[in-house]
């Protein structure tokens, strides 16, 4: 099935309202109903809200959400000790405190955020994960892990990348975790494309082109073919999920842990390292060094065709994720052109990557 869809369609009222929103930081499709967003208000506070299909904007009161009963401004500065760092309307919020991270979700959803089984493969390999300090049906308090993310460290995080490549092979073992196959990953990519096109966020851009839709069709067809054996995987492994303090490498957000092809995590990491370069978070020299490290890791864990498929799927998915975020217009067209070049590379995308390019 073609994913090119209605690439010529105009932006919907929801997208028009999103682009006019002051202080916008991030936005996501709200299934097929409209959009949810995070923005900063005139006082610099993080505010969540929704935009319906007709373009009507509903911004929630600061640190309040009817779907998240444990979220309260009392937790936050200036009277509490916490800082609201994530608020996705109706789904979740994250409050960063002095000694803990508090995750707030809909009632009954907290249990899956801290399944001990999910942490086991990463702890076994020598990565640090957050201990649960307290919990309820809609709240999870986790210890505040040391260090800064590899995303924030940029070039200064090279030793953390080296530690990751040293430790990660021990993660890749069988575990009693849910399965996420290549076909599942293909559906994730198709869903992002479908929602972006339906909302008209890509209208009038190179990302809307039929060539991008055809590239997605081609990559999804490869993902759906039989692949490498499944093993423990993070499934959302990228530079912001890894904390480095100079000695210890810590891993965040284990709720996506699953059995998947090892190429999924390595390919996603490689795409996000490219993104760091595109967003000027990593120098050309450091990008080349990290790319070589991931090449060595991939060689140990996965076949080259599967690495190419998952790497491309991540690059193509990121086109659609960042189309909803401000500032992407400065780098996303070039990213799209490079992604299409890689899809067309006769030797496979993994081999066609050029460190530092």
| 127 plus 218 within the same structural domain | no
- Alpha-carbon distance values, 29 to 9, 18, 109 (Å): 17, 11, 21
| 246 plus 307 within the same structural domain | yes
Range of the domain at 253: 147-352
Q: Taking the CA of residue 52 as centre, how many other CA atoms within 13 Å lie in the half-sphere pointing to its CB? A: 3
pLDDT in tens, the chain (357 residues): 334 444 446 789 999 999 999 999 999 999 767 999 999 999 999 999 999 999 999 999 999 999 999 998 877 865 677 899 999 999 999 999 988 999 999 999 998 787 888 999 999 999 999 999 999 999 999 999 999 999 999 999 999 999 999 999 999 999 999 999 999 999 999 999 999 999 999 988 888 889 999 999 999 999 999 999 999 999 999 999 999 999 999 999 999 999 999 999 999 999 999 999 999 999 999 999 999 999 999 999 999 999 999 999 999 999 999 999 999 999 999 999 999 999 999 777 887 775 544
Question: What pLDDT score was predicted for residue 77?
Answer: 63
Q: Does 357 map to a domain?
A: no
| 296 plus 185 within the same structural domain | yes
Q: Does 40 map to a domain?
A: no
152: Cβ–Cβ under 8 A, 6 or more apart, which residues?
A: none
For residues 294 and 288, what is the distance between their CA atoms, to the nearest angstrom?
A: 10
DSSP string for 170-233: GT-S--S--B--HHHHHHHHHHHHHHHHHHTTTTTSGGGSHHHHHHHHHHHHHHTS--SPPEEE
Helices (H) and strands (E) in the chain, counts: 11, 14
Instruction: Report the first-to-last Cα separation within the chain, whole angstroms.
Output: 33
| 132 plus 245 within the same structural domain | no
- Spell out a b/e string for 261-289, using b for 16 or more CB atoms within 10 Å of the CB, else e: bbbbbbbbbbbbbbbbbbeebbeeebbbb
Question: What pLDDT score was predicted for residue 31?
Answer: 77
Residues 356/252/185/272 CA torsion (nearest 10 deg): -10
| 249 plus 303 within the same structural domain | yes
Last residue of a domain, one of 144, 170, 197: 144
153: Cβ–Cβ under 8 A, 6 or more apart, which residues?
A: 160, 244
Tens digit of each residue's pLDDT (9 = 90 or more) over 33-78: 799 999 999 999 999 999 999 999 999 999 999 999 999 887 786 5
| 114 plus 128 within the same structural domain | yes
| 137 plus 96 within the same structural domain | yes
| 172 plus 112 within the same structural domain | no
Considering the entire predicted model, what is its pTM? 0.94
Q: Does 30 map to a domain?
A: no
Domain of 131: which CATH number?
Answer: 3.30.200
Last residue of a domain, one of 144, 161, 194: 144
Question: What pLDDT score was predicted for residue 94?
Answer: 96
| 113 plus 167 within the same structural domain | no
Q: Does 47 map to a domain?
A: no
Task: Take residue 164 and report the two structure tokens written for it.
Answer: 């990751």
* The pairing of beta strand 34-40 with beta strand 24-29: antiparallel
For residues 301 and 170, what is the distance between their CA atoms, to the nearest angstrom?
A: 10
Residue corresponding to tokens 């189309």 = 323
| 199 plus 237 within the same structural domain | yes
Domain of 236: which CATH number?
Answer: 3.90.1200.10
For residues 155 and 150, what is the distance between their CA atoms, to the nearest angstrom?
A: 9
Residue 67 contacts residue 58 (beta carbons within 8 Å) = no
């Amino acid at each position: 099935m073609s994913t090119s869809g209605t690439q010529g369609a105009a932006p919907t009222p929801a997208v028009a309202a999103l682009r006019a929103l002051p202080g916008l930081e991030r936005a996501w499709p709200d299934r097929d109903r409209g959009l949810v967003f995070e923005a900063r208000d005139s006082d610099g506070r993080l505010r969540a809200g929704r935009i319906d299909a007709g373009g009507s904007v509903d911004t929630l009161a600061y640190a309040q959400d009817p779907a998240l009963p444990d979220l309260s401004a009392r937790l936050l500065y200036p009277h509490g000790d916490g800082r609201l760092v994530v608020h996705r309307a109706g789904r979740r919020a994250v409050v960063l405190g002095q000694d803990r991270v508090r995750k707030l979700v809909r009632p009954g959803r907290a249990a899956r955020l801290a399944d001990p089984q999910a942490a086991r493969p990463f702890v076994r390999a020598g990565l640090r994960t957050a201990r649960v300090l307290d919990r309820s049906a809609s709240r999870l308090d986790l210890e505040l892990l040391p260090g800064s993310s590899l995303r924030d460290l940029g070039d200064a995080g090279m030793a953390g990348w080296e530690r990751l490549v040293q430790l990660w092979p021990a993660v890749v073992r069988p575990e009693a975790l849910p399965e996420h196959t290549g076909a599942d990953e293909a559906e994730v990519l198709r869903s992002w494309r479908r929602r972006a096109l339906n909302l008209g966020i890509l209208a009038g851009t190179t990302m809307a082109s039929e060539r991008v839709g055809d590239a997605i069709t081609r990559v999804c067809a490869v993902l759906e073919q039989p692949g490498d054996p499944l093993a423990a995987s993070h499934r959302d492994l990228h530079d912001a999920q890894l904390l480095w303090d100079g000695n210890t490498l810590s891993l965040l957000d284990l709720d996506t842990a699953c059995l998947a092809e090892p190429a999924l995590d390595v390919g996603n990491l490689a795409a996000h390292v490219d993104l760091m370069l595109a967003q000027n978070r990593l120098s050309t020299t450091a990008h080349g060094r990290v790319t070589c490290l991931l090449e060595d890791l991939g060689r140990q864990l996965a076949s080259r065709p599967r690495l190419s498929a998952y790497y491309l799927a991540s690059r193509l998915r990121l086109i659609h994720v960042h189309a909803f975020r401000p500032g992407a217009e400065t780098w996303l067209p070039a990213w799209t052109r490079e992604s299409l070049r890689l899809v067309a590379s006769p030797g496979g995308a993994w081999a066609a990557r050029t460190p530092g390019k």
